[in-house]
Amino acid sequence: MTEFEFDSHMSDLSVEQRELIANVFKEHEFKDIKIKVQPVGSEGDNFGANVKRIIGEKDDKTFKIIAKIAPKTEMLRVMANTVIFFKNEHVMYTEVLPKFTELEKAANIPKEERLRYATCYGTYLEAPNEMILLEDLEVPGYKMLDKVTSLSDEAVKLVLKNFAMLHSLSYALKYEQRETFEKFCQRLVNTWVLMAGVPEMIDYFEKLEVDVQTLIDDDKYKNAIKNTIGQVILRASELAKTYSSSKFSVIQQGDSWTNNIMFRLEDDRAVECCMIDYQLSKRSSPVADLHCLIFNCTDYATRAKHFYDWIDYYYLQLDKRLAKFELKTEEVYPRYQLEADLKLFAKFSLGHAIVMAGLVFREAGNATELKKAMNNDDPNKYMDGMIEQTKLSTSDPATIKKFKTRLEELVDSFIEFGYINASKIV
């Protein structure tokens, strides 16, 4: 038997990818084995990468890792910013997060109180074979929750506490090692800014809004979402400029929806969480992470009951974590700035949440067709396929009903929290 035998499901891996995987297993004393693979998630969960669970067994021992593998279709790679996504995550896992751990150790923060993230076993960045190998968090008992079900109050608070850790470490790095912080920020690319320079992407979101508008009957909701989806890229680009030089900026996680968070449960209650995706990490406001979590991962009833408590809880946790670095919250990120940012990011967040709702409620069959469209290398057919497959108006009635309910609940929340005015929104 050769040192390693890969099963047939890994036949499309490059020599370099196989070597990286083999080296990881060697380092963990797994040799002369057959390496097996299992898919991770279901259709519609992973469009920007092919995620696999890689398994090695020897005697009575098992070693598992997660491989995030870049798509090879050229058009998909261009439109999905594959090169940038994998570089961003490489920077986060190999430089930023380890640096944050150094800061925690220097501040004598106990291991059990530090920011939890998956161990990175290796990365490969040569296009088109990018790959990132990570700890399989299911081994220590973490699991992914249902993306269409609202996170509980307890689960939201766990993520907010994680954000307080992440953001406080950003501030600590900024105040202690400003040059290092700036270097990281420069290397983390804001893909929204890149999309703002691609007319086809702006056209795509404008057409998506036209389609969504056909589903809405009530003028209240029509007015509220006017120019939200269509201008989501431009608003994101404007916010990026605002925060590129802001003293309140942090390195944010950037994509905190349910499929990018894993929870450890005890008696069906979430007791720990860990973020698992840093491809959209960039310099921004702390509020960008809060908005993304709250408006993409919870329903109206849960938000209505807990929203203000969540904001207070986050700020309290941020205060506690900053104190460990001898920083004062009222100087680093004053409460008035938090409140101002909650309003500043509102229009973008509403548009983004509506787009995400369309992805979350897309039925599995449509997700399969979307993947086919995304793997088309003809530029015109690619965009036509994307527009056709992401249209909500052609979905089945049950999907449309769920989407409309989510949209109306989002608008109601934004209005009730004072972040938009349905009669004046433009």
SS (H, E, C) 341-395: HHHHCHHHHHHHHHHHHHHHCCCHHHHHHHHHHHCCCCHHHHHHHHHHHCCCCCC
Q: Which residues pair with 272 in a beta bridge?
A: 264
Q: Is 173 among the domain residues? A: yes
Joined tokens for residue 337: 């700035």
Using alpha carbons, list the distances in angstroms from residue 41 to 46, 364, 393.
8, 12, 26
Q: Is 258 among the domain residues? A: yes
- The per-residue pLDDT for 257 is 95
- The per-residue pLDDT for 78 is 86
Instruction: Report d(CA 353, CA 316) in Å as an integer.
Output: 26
3-state DSSP assignment of residue 223: helix
Instruction: Report d(CA 297, CA 310) in Å as an integer.
Output: 13
Integer Rg of the chain from CA: 22
- What lies within 8 Å, CB to CB, of 142 at 6+ separation is 262, 263, 264, 272, 273, 274
Give the residues of the chain that fall short of pLDDT 70: 1-3, 8-9, 42-48, 363-382, 422-426
- Biggest CA-to-CA distance, the chain: 71
Q: How many domains does the chain have?
A: 1
Q: Is 117 among the domain residues? A: no
Q: Is 50 among the domain residues? A: no
* 199 prior amide bond cis, ω within 30: no
- The per-residue pLDDT for 45 is 58
How many other β-carbons are positioned within 10 Å of the β-carbon of residue 232? 26
Q: Is 23 among the domain residues? A: no
- What lies within 8 Å, CB to CB, of 38 at 6+ separation is 52, 53, 55
Q: Is 171 among the domain residues? A: yes
CA-CA-CA-CA torsion sign (163, 164, 166, 167): positive
CATH number for 161: 3.90.1200
Q: Where are the alpha helices (DSSP H) in 5-92?
A: 15-27, 74-79, 82-91
Instruction: Report d(CA 345, CA 337) in Å as an integer.
Output: 12
Joined tokens for residue 71: 């798509």
- The per-residue pLDDT for 385 is 72
Instruction: Report d(CA 236, CA 244) in Å as an integer.
Output: 12
Q: Is 27 among the domain residues? A: no
Residues 150 and 156: beta-carbon distance below 8 Å: no
Q: Angle at the Cα of 257 (from 253 to 262), degrees rounded to 5? A: 85
Residues 284 and 250: beta-carbon distance below 8 Å: yes
Chain centre to alpha carbon of residue 27: 30
- The per-residue pLDDT for 334 is 98
Pairing of strands 33-39, 61-69: unpaired
Q: Is 115 among the domain residues? A: no
Supply the range of the domain harboring residue 200: 147-360+396-416
- The per-residue pLDDT for 269 is 94
Joined tokens for residue 172: 């600590």
- The per-residue pLDDT for 191 is 94
pTM over 0.75: yes
Residues 43 and 364: beta-carbon distance below 8 Å: yes
